[in-house]
Chains A and B, each alone.
Chain A
Amino acid sequence: MNIPAALFSLQNQVNAQLGGDISWVMNILFYVVFIVFIFYGQRLQTYVMIREVEGSLYKLKYIKEEGRKITIETIKEIGKPQTDPTARVDRFLEYFTISPQSLDPAGIVWKLEHILDVRDIRFKDEVKLMAPSADETQTNNLENTLEAASALNFIYKVIRHYYLLGKKTLSLYVIMQIQMILPMIMKEAEAYASALKAFAYGQPIGDGAGALVAARLMHGYEIRKLEKDCVVATVPFEGRTAFIVKAEGPGGNVGKPGDAVKQVIEENKGKIAMIVMIDAALKLEGEELGEVAEGVGAAIGGPGVDQFKIEEELLKYHIPINALVVKEDVGDAVSPLRKEVFDSIDTVIARIKEVVSERTKEGDKIVIAGIGNTIGIGQ
């Protein structure tokens, strides 16, 4: 609403009804407000935005502190460390990873893979030092818990940076940048807060939809370990031989599906009729939670190393690839598995059967890869 116009109209009404001294005071008041809004309108808007960001910052600080507290309590409970892990946890929350230089992009995937491997090993070692009594599954869950706490810490610091910068410069444009995307950031922070508990308790999360499909298909069959925290089972499927691949559960783990799928293809000398990948995908507002969509391409998120490796193999042996995704929003993807997503697993399996029957012949070999964090999902 145009404030000066509204005030002007109000002033006219008061003038008409009261007249005299009050009318004169209202006149002065109107001009004062008008002049103030002309010169300080933007400044006032900045203050309003700063207050709004400040409110969210309080909430973020609370979530971050709670995350840290939950992480320390879980480490103490599961890991039974001899010394207080607080200082080590605080140090972990500040860890960073520098991505490789991309001025000359040739070979960057391998550099990125190396950096990620080093990071993974470092994280695992740190967790083992913090929680010496934790078994492998618990170590993986604790690593995920720490990563969620670290993400919350990072979000808080970035918002605080823009808030303080906005307050210091009183620039509308500095504070506006963060105020505009604040609802999405808060949603993400709340999702991570919810994920913390799920990781600490080892509950399955929404991102595990793909892994759950693979687990359903391979359960009861002989399971063999593959490259880097993945497993495979050879399963008869609609008259075909299916190699079902997933990350090894039930600990919080995504494995290296790129290497696992590559290994299966190489073991079969490229004689694979089709690859089907299943993953959770971000839904758009208005789409139903647990909706299943079908397409082509490597359905896998993350930094891109695994996707690259799978695509290289596809190209080498000219293997067609199909993808099935289960739609979820960011909150559902990292928080405990929703019933809607769980119920969609049957639909996904029915769709895989359809795709395989329509696009391959009996006796063919196929690869079905369930992608995602397998926390709380065995095999």
Chain B
Amino acid sequence: MTETKATAPTTRISAFLLTIVFITLALSFAALIFAVYILEQPTEAETAWILILLGFLGVGISTYVLFQTRRRISKLKIIVPPVTTTIECKKCGFKNVREFQRGDYIFKEGENCQKCNEKTLITAIYREVKDKEKQKMPF
């Protein structure tokens, strides 16, 4: 199985769902157009308003479903969080924080210090996550 073949169906939207959505959308537009047409006749005003209501409802629901499907696809990715490496000089305490590089590990000796030319040490590797504002809970 090639990679292209394997990943293709993942991003595909169900054809059945799309058909239903587009049929609903088409019928809703038809109802709206028809409502405008019969609104000109004062005796059919009630029917016209019902059609307008149904038309807007149909357009709203189908747009919402399409939007939801689109959002589900855009969510499909593996997020790689940024990881930082802290390098410290054992002698002068100079600290350097940079992005993690392959081969870094905690307590690995690094390059010489920019200030005192002594050996540096990787003292921390971690990722910082900014949590969304937490909802206040009573417990």
- Give A residues with C-beta under 8 Å from B: 18, 22, 55, 58-59, 61-63, 65-66, 69, 193-194, 196-197, 201-204, 212, 215, 219, 249-250, 286, 335-339, 341-342, 376-379
Bound state CA distance, A197 and B77, in angstroms? Answer: 13
Known: A212-B106, A336-B83, A377-B106. A286 touches B76 (CB 8 A): no
Contacting residues, chain A, for B103 (C-beta < 8 A): 202
Q: Is the CB of B40 closer than 8 A to any CB of chain A?
A: no
**A342 partner, pick from B76, B80, B100, B126, beta carbons under 8 A:** B126
Q: Is the CB of B107 closer than 8 A to any CB of chain A?
A: yes
Q: Is the CB of B3 closer than 8 A to any CB of chain A?
A: yes
Contacting residues, chain A, for B81 (C-beta < 8 A): 194, 335-336
Bound state CA distance, A341 and B83, in angstroms? Answer: 14
Contacting residues, chain A, for B11 (C-beta < 8 A): 62
Q: Is the CB of B15 closer than 8 A to any CB of chain A?
A: no
Interface residues of B in 59-85 (CB under 8 A from A): 72, 75-76, 78-81, 83
Q: How many A-B residue pairs have CB under 8 A?
A: 88
Q: Size class of B's contact patch?
A: 20 to 34
Contacting residues, chain A, for B107 (C-beta < 8 A): 215, 219, 377-379
Provide 16 A-B residue pairs closer than 8 Å at the C-beta atoms, listed in order of the A residue.
A55-B72, A59-B75, A62-B10, A65-B3, A194-B78, A201-B102, A202-B102, A203-B83, A286-B137, A335-B127, A336-B125, A337-B126, A339-B126, A341-B126, A376-B105, A378-B107
Contacting residues, chain A, for B80 (C-beta < 8 A): 194, 197
B76-114 to A contact mask, C-beta < 8 Å, 1/0: 101111010000000000000000101111111000000
Contact B9 A215 (CB under 8 A): no
Known: A65-B3, A201-B100, A338-B129. A249 touches B137 (CB 8 A): no
Contacting residues, chain B, for A61 (C-beta < 8 A): 9-10
Contact A378 B105 (CB under 8 A): yes
**Identity of the chain A residue whose Cβ is nearest the Cβ of B128 in the assembled complex:** A339
Contact B79 A194 (CB under 8 A): yes
Contacting residues, chain B, for A66 (C-beta < 8 A): 78
